[in-house]
Structure formats: C-alpha cells, structure tokens
C-alpha cells in the first residue's frame, strides 16, 4: 500500500508480521498485538526498528508501558466510518507520550488525512498513486482551527489573543 508522511511518498521499511508468520532474524518489523505479546522478550532484545499494529478493537492502553520501546504504532481504520482510532491517536500522543511514527492504515480517505494529522498521525497508507499529493491537498483546505488537539496548532482563540497582545 502506498505510504506517505506529511512531506513525501516513502518506501515502507517495515515487514508486516502476523500470528502465522515466523519472526525473521533481521529487518524492521511491524507486528500484530498477538505477536507482540507472544514474543515480547525476543522482540525487545532486537536492535532494529519495531512497530505494533492495533485493530480498532484493541485499546492502546495495552501497550502503553512499552511505548518507549516502539518506533512505530499503526492504527487500523476497518472502515472510514470507524472513528475510534482518532481517540486512540490522541491518547497515544498526549497521554502515553509516544513520539515515534504513528501510522494510519486501512480505509483511509483523502478527506480524512487532515483530521488524522491533527490528532497525531504522521504517516498514512492511502490507496492512491500519489499519496503525498493527496496529503498536500487535504492538509491545505483549512488555515483556522477551533480545537486544541495533538498537533499543537494554535487555535482561533489563541490567535485572537495573540493579535490583541501584539496590537
């Protein structure tokens, strides 16, 4: 699946590992929660990049103690209508303090990229020939935001206040 961060199209360095796959000796791995839990000690010892992918039924609190060990957390959108991962993303960033790559995977639509970026996602798997261009379009639709959220953008209220303070 084509992948982009907030600047450019990227080649995914991670190998996806499900419960039926054997663990390769080398390489960056993106594992399911079951694999993470089953092979926790072995995976923690590896020096290479490691990520966990969660379904929308899997609350990230389960991995909150391991956050510092992870390079990537991928959250699945089983359908674009399932908005749980927006809340998960905020918890992962703002409450559990994750600073690595937070990836949106699954049914990810162009129009949602902006919301996803606002709650803390910084990479996106999009069914598109050029996801970076999609992101560029979606991210520039708006220049004003009412809400505080994971991306630290200044809200309309903060901008009003700043304007007042600086004449």
The footprint of other proteins on residues 3-62 (CB under 8 A) is 59
Does residue 115 touch other proteins according to CB under 8 A?
Answer: yes
Verify binding: residue 129, other proteins, rule CB under 8 A: no
Residue pair 108/102 in contact (Cβ under 8 Å)? The answer is: no
Would you count residue 133 as binding other proteins (CB under 8 A)?
no
Looking at beta carbons only, is 49 or 91 nearer to other proteins? Answer: 91
With CB under 8 A as the contact rule, the residue among 48, 83, 100, 133 that binds other proteins is: 83
Site residues (CB under 8 A) for other proteins? 59, 80-84, 86-88, 90, 95, 109, 111-112, 114-116, 118-119, 141-149, 155-157, 159-161
């Amino acid at each position: 699946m084509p992948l982009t961060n907030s600047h450019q199209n990227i080649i995914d360095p991670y190998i996806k590992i499900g419960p039926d796959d054997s663990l390769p000796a080398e390489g960056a791995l993106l594992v399911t929660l079951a694999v993470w839990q089953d092979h926790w000690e072995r995976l923690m010892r590896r020096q290479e990049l490691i990520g966990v992918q969660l379904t929308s039924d899997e609350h990230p609190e389960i991995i909150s103690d391991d956050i510092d060990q992870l390079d990537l957390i991928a959250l699945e959108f089983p359908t674009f209508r399932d908005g749980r991962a927006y809340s998960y993303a905020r918890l992962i960033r703002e409450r559990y303090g994750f600073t690595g790559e937070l990836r949106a995977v699954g049914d990810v639509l162009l129009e949602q990229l902006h919301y996803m970026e606002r709650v803390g996602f910084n990479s996106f798997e999009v069914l598109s020939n050029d996801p970076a261009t999609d992101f560029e379009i979606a991210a520039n639709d708006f220049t004003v935001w009412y809400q505080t959220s994971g991306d630290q953008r200044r809200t309309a209220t903060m901008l009003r206040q700043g304007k007042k303070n600086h004449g």
